[in-house]
Amino acid sequence: SYEELNNFSDEDARQAALLTAKSMGEEARKLEMEIEAARLAKELEAQQRAEALERESKMTGVAGMRAFFFRQVEGATDVTKTNEQQIKEEAARRKALREAKLKMTEAIQNASKTKSPEEIAAEVAKEAERQKEAELAAQRQKEEDEKAARAARKAALNEKWSVKSPSTDHSLSGSYSSSKSQSGEIVRNTSKH
């Protein structure tokens, strides 16, 4: 179909983007659960404090005074977080949640992104250039290897024939000249000096 022939999606990038989207989605869910748990803990603490104040208000005499002073001591030591600390923690959680959702959205958009024909053509040209450079490098290496092999063979032959034997030395001492005969054959004349 037309869509299949003209869909230039990068499957590797798509899979990587889908994995990123999945991990960001999981992180967002975890942050949402954290925010909900903190909200529930705050509500539970407020409910328990309200129940304690209700019980204290019903107490009379020494028990009532004891509960009142116990609450005053508890308020003086302040084991709970300040309102500012709680607000900062909630803001940090909401910010982390927004960032995770933004990253997840970007990853989903990257997963569904398709490449334009120009991008594909640029990638194909870049790959062709890289292959051409690799072929040229291989050709240069092959030429250098052949040159080295020829030099090694030449050195071996030179080494083999560099030792002169006395029996062949006197036959090579003459001068050579060549001339064409009437039949076109090359005739070599050797003359000794």
What does each C-alpha distance from 13 to 16, 73, 187 come to in angstroms? 5, 61, 78
Q: What is the mean pLDDT of residues 32-36?
A: 89
Q: In this predicted structure, what is the pLDDT of residue 5?
A: 52
Identify whether the C-beta of residue 31 lies closer than 8 Å to the C-beta of residue 136. Answer: no
Using CA atoms, how far residue 24 sits from 37, 61, 97, in Å, is 20, 58, 10
pLDDT of 52: 80
Contact assessment for residue 150 and residue 138, using Cβ atoms and an 8 Å cutoff = no
Average pLDDT of the chain to the nearest whole number: 77
Q: Give the total residue count for the chain.
A: 193
More reliable by pLDDT, 140 or 51: 140
DSSP 164: P
Residue 179 pLDDT greater than 80, yes or no: no
Mean pLDDT within 21-40? 88
Q: Is the pTM of this model over 0.85?
A: no
pLDDT tens readout for residues 7-28: 556 677 777 777 888 888 888 8
Question: What pLDDT does 171 receive?
Answer: 47
| Cα distance between residue 59 and residue 66, in whole Å | 9
pLDDT score for 154 = 93
Q: How far apart are CA 107 and CA 37, in angstroms?
A: 27
**Mind listing the pLDDT tens digit for each residue in 99-154?**
888 888 888 777 777 677 787 788 889 999 999 999 999 999 999 999 999 999 99
